[in-house]
Amino acid sequence: MVSISDVAHEAHVSKMTVSRVINHPEQVSPEIRKDVQRVISQLGYVQNRAGRALANNRHYNIAFILLDNVNEIEPYYAHLLMHLTDALREEGYTLEMRHDRNFDLTNVDGFLICGARHSDFTVLNNLPIPVVIYGTESGITSVDIDNQAGTLLATKLLISQHYQRLLFLGMDIDEPFATNREMGYRQAMREADREVEIYRLPNNEHIVQRFLQNDDLSANTGIIAATDRLGLGALRASRQQGLQVPDDIGIVGFDGIYIHQLAEQPLTTVQQPLKEIAGHMVQLLLAELSGKTVESVYVVPKLIHGETTK
């Protein structure tokens, strides 16, 4: 078995220097750090996890807490969880998953939170260990998609494709991401001097389908949906009324993780780059663990063109 002494001998440094490269790399010059890491890779040295934890007073374990109702959301969290696991493994950490609001501090160094709501923020602000949320909240370190920019892109796309009636299907919840998605639509419509038309509904494709069946959709209508589930309901309602998508009806969803691929025609959607989001979440959390001051990050989304726009 390769020891830390073997690494130190091969790299022509002290054992203390090797230890610092592993446990406190910021204390070592980039040149020495690169040389030692090269030797570690060549020799296949693996540090004893228990010893590392003892030396740094850490557990090297992070808890991912999913607070969303999994019956009402896209399964994005599975993709996010996979990317978080990979990013943490590269840093020598493990990830455990939880789905309650106990926020048990036992054997964890920090929390990565998904699906937090207003009622959670007071508790999260007072936790004694670092917290990073996927979302937006003043005072809590967060990583979020730029929701307003996303629906701005979606609305401008349908405007450019000359749909006359442009309606927005939003969510009937009072949460920042839902509000910001609606704001992007409003901004695009204001800039184009177009009249807004907004409906706020539960995030359920069947409810949306029934709602739009009573609307008597007409040709040359563009629909901006705040989620892919809402977009899927709009697509099925359009087809049920005998309208052609995208010739008569244009539809853009939001999320781009899974549901958009289940439609009879793949949805054009605003995609959340979950790998990038996961990377930012991990780096912010580890920076806070090291005592650094950090700022929240907003990730710009991109449009994924499917078959529901021209």
CATH (domain of 24): 1.10.260.40
Given this model, what pLDDT does residue 47 score?
65
The structural domain count of the chain equals 3
Q: Are residues 172 and 264 both part of a single domain? A: yes
pLDDT at 77 over 80: no
Of 55, 57, 64, whose CA–CA distance to 96 is shortest?
A: 64
- Cα separation of 127 and 36, whole Å? 36
Per-residue confidence at 30, pLDDT binned at 50, 70, 90?
Answer: confident
Per-residue confidence at 132, pLDDT binned at 50, 70, 90?
Answer: very high
Q: Are residues 163 and 225 both part of a single domain? A: yes
- Cα separation of 249 and 267, whole Å? 12
> Is residue 308 included in any domain, yes or no?
no
Name the token pair of 177. 């991401």
Q: Are residues 112 and 199 both part of a single domain? A: no
pLDDT at 163 over 60: yes
> Is residue 117 included in any domain, yes or no?
yes
Q: Which of 53-67, 114-128, 277-291 reaches the highest mean pLDDT?
A: 277-291
Mean pLDDT of 211-240: 93
Residue 27 belongs to domain spanning? 4-55
Name the token pair of 30. 């980039």
Q: What is the pTM of this model?
A: 0.75
- Is residue 97 within 8 A of residue 64, CB to CB? The reply is yes
> Is residue 309 included in any domain, yes or no?
no
Amino acid in position 185: Y
- Cα separation of 15 and 23, whole Å? 12
Per-residue confidence at 262, pLDDT binned at 50, 70, 90?
Answer: confident
Q: How far is CA 16 from CA 3, 29, 31, 166, 199, in A?
A: 13, 14, 16, 65, 63
pLDDT at 170 over 50: yes
Q: Are residues 242 and 268 both part of a single domain? A: yes
- Please state, for a pLDDT cut of 90, what percent of the chain lies above it: 54
Q: Are residues 233 and 172 both part of a single domain? A: yes
Q: Are residues 269 and 185 both part of a single domain? A: yes
Q: Which residue has the tokens 């004694």?
A: 128
Q: Which of 38-42, 91-95, 103-107, 164-168 reaches the highest mean pLDDT?
A: 164-168
Mean pLDDT of 126-140: 88
- Cα separation of 35 and 10, whole Å? 10
Given this model, what pLDDT does residue 1 score?
66
> Is residue 14 included in any domain, yes or no?
yes
Per-residue confidence at 310, pLDDT binned at 50, 70, 90?
Answer: very high
The model's pLDDT over 49-71, given as tens digits with 9 standing for 90+, comes to 545 544 555 678 999 998 876 66
Q: Are residues 66 and 140 both part of a single domain? A: yes
pLDDT at 98 over 60: yes
Q: Are residues 65 and 14 both part of a single domain? A: no
Mean pLDDT of 218-229: 95
Name the token pair of 81. 């969880």
- Would you call 31 exposed, middle or buried from its count of C-beta atoms within 10 A (0-12, 13-18, 19+)? exposed
pLDDT at 264 over 90: no
Mean pLDDT value across the chain? 88
